Amino acid sequence: MSKITTDIKKCNYYIICVPTPINQNKTLTRLCNEIQQHNYKEEILQLMTEQIADYRCITGENPMWHPLEKKVYWLDIPSGRLFRYDPSTQQHENFFTHDEEVGGFTIQPDGVLLLFMSRGAIGFLRGNRIDHVVDEISEEKASRFNDVIADPAGRVFCGTMPQKGRLGVLYRLETDGSIQPILEGIGCSNGMGFSNDLQKMYYTDSGKREIYLFDYDQETGDISNQRVFVKTPDGEGVPDGMTVDREGYVWSARWDGSGLFRFDIQGNLERKIELPASKVSSVVFGGDDYTDIYATTAGGNDKIINGSGAGALFRIKTEFTGKPDFFSRLS
């Protein structure tokens, strides 16, 4: 295995599957092809994990595949830095830095990013200029937005962080720019997603370590009938960002859980993909065929404690297929 191990390290790959005995003289390319040609369902996890970029993010978050540009975007919340990676050139950059925190963003049909920031501010990023849709939310002056998601109609569900004397709130931003609270008393508003039939919405409250399932009305954007989908056991980390794949399975990033957790539609854990970082913050599918998983990690300011991959962006090659995120459609 020494030759294979050396080749893997050169390419910065972590192979997390081992098929039947492999000829040690094979090149890494042939090894990868052999791995991908097999189907190791339950017994052997078929994937490769590559560290794409390391900006030592304190809170790397919100990975999103830009379908028009064919690039991955992500951010570091406290520093206000936004990044992008082009798989075709393998180049990445910190293309914009805001002077305040940026909690999340969505993508408009014209490719413009819609940023969700401190104090409840929301605005379009056009070049180096932010055109505000919402200047601030008076109740959120001491807070910021966290995770956000556009729904099929182009509305945006956007949650805020708890602050002194007030817990977090989940808001719904309408396509006309109006905004209203729809859930209050949230410990830490986090990852969201929709079932494949668009009849249900998943919602993560990290403060309670729970992922909820709601009935979702696409016509009105209303959510109802809240119930627990997954409860994270004590001592096993905190559910953070999430996405839903084409099979309808939920992928949840686990802060202080060192990985991605995949749940079936009944909420049973189907598998875990480990990453070399304790604080795995979010996950999205990307690539032309949506078979690449991109995951962000946090804690890059202390890699000794949080792991060698803390604060980085990872790409994971898998047998699974995701689906595009919805555009926000603010006029």
Q: What whole-number distance in Å separates Cα of residue 90 and Cα of residue 145?
A: 30
Give 289: exposed, middle or buried? Use CB within 10 Å, 0-12, 13-18, 19+.
Answer: exposed
The string over 97-117, giving b where at least 16 C-beta atoms fall within 10 Å of a residue's C-beta and e elsewhere, is ebeebbbbbbbbeeebbbbbb
Q: 157 and 148 in contact (C-beta within 8 Å)?
A: yes
**Tokens coding 20:** 């039947």
Q: What whole-number distance in Å separates Cα of residue 39 and Cα of residue 126?
A: 45
Q: 216 and 326 in contact (C-beta within 8 Å)?
A: no
Q: What are phi and psi of 253, to 5 degrees?
A: -75, 145
Q: 161 and 147 in contact (C-beta within 8 Å)?
A: no
Q: 28 and 8 in contact (C-beta within 8 Å)?
A: yes
Degrees to nearest 5, angle at CA 203 with 198 and 205: 175
**Tokens coding 291:** 């078979």
Positive/negative CA dihedral, 116, 161, 178, 176: positive
Q: What whole-number distance in Å separates Cα of residue 158 and Cα of residue 192?
A: 9
**Tokens coding 8:** 């893997």
**Tokens coding 183:** 């859930």
Catalytic residue among 147, 205, 240, 245: 240
Q: What whole-number distance in Å separates Cα of residue 203 and Cα of residue 33?
A: 37
Q: Is 99 a catalytic residue?
A: no
- Point out the residues that are catalytic: 240
